[in-house]
Amino acid sequence: MLWPVTLVGAVAGMAVASIPGALLGGLLGQVLDRRLRLQSFEHLRDLLSSKRESLDDEELLFMLIGRLAKSDGRVLDSHLQAARNEMLRLGLDEQARRQAMLAFNRGKQAEDKPLRRALRGLHKRPERAETLLRTCWRMAWADGRVSEREYEMIQMWGGWLGWKREALDTLADEYEPARKTTEVKAGDYQAAMRLLGVQADSEPATIKRAYRRLLSRHHPDKLSGSGATPAQLRAATDKTRELQVAYEVVRQRRGFR
């Protein structure tokens, strides 16, 4: 980990007062780095830039969900309805709704850099960060499924907000549509664990990671636009369903969400 203000403070202190100055400058810089949670010069530049080009909370929220809605190439009616639902949830008036829709449309073509600056600026506002992530998961599930691209984007944004992957996955589980319950047999359970590549004593978090990794690898979305044949797409779809069934079997047997 590189603490930028610590380094700058030490160099400046050395120039002014030799070794004692370097020690004092480094110490003061370290205090500031810890307070601001700075980890690199890039992070420091993002923080300084965010002060000049800040996005307000609602603008950032609708830019994020606009980016998600467009992530798979086409904005669906279900995405637009989800955006309207968020406006109702926030109690926006007509003018605020227009501004929110403008932000939603800007988000479709938004670049990562301004979003990264804005999200990193929320490190000291955990409640706001959680609200943004919950809204993103609602939008991702608006069309009934979360694509690989949507999952990767929310994971990336969560990282910028300081969230760990396990916490993001736990939050995602709250918004996944309810699964149909099925009877689980012992043989099914053993076969399901083999398919997922996990052991009987694997922790739920480990099982979830294995499932998501395999789902990402075999999902038919990976083949879209790659010239895959219909047979290859069907095989990928069948494999995805097989993984989903296996995960459901293990999840029920182990008793976690």
Mean pLDDT computed over every residue of the chain: 81
Q: Structural domains in the chain? A: 4-39 (no CATH), 57-173 (1.10.3680.10), 186-254 (1.10.287)
pLDDT in tens, 212-236: 999 888 887 777 666 777 667 777 8
pLDDT at 7: 65
Q: Which residue shows structure tokens 């990794």?
A: 213
* Greatest CA separation for the chain: 74
Render pLDDT for 176-191 as a digit per residue (tens, 0 to 9): 765 444 444 556 888 8
Q: Which residue spans within the chain are E strands per DSSP?
A: none
Q: How far apart are CA 252 and CA 234, in angstroms?
A: 27
Q: How far is the C-alpha of 243 from the C-alpha of 165, rounded, in Å? A: 21
Sign of CA dihedral 113, 117, 123, 127: negative
Judge whether 220 and 237 are in contact, CB under 8 Å: yes
Q: How far is CA 243 from CA 112, 178, 233, in A?
A: 32, 17, 15
pTM of the predicted structure, to 2 decimals: 0.54
The model's confidence at residue 35, banded by pLDDT at 50, 70 and 90, is: low
3-state SS, one letter per residue, for 35-60: HHCCCCHHHHHHHHHHHHCCCCHHHH
pLDDT in tens, 149-162: 999 999 999 999 99
**pLDDT score, position 1:** 52
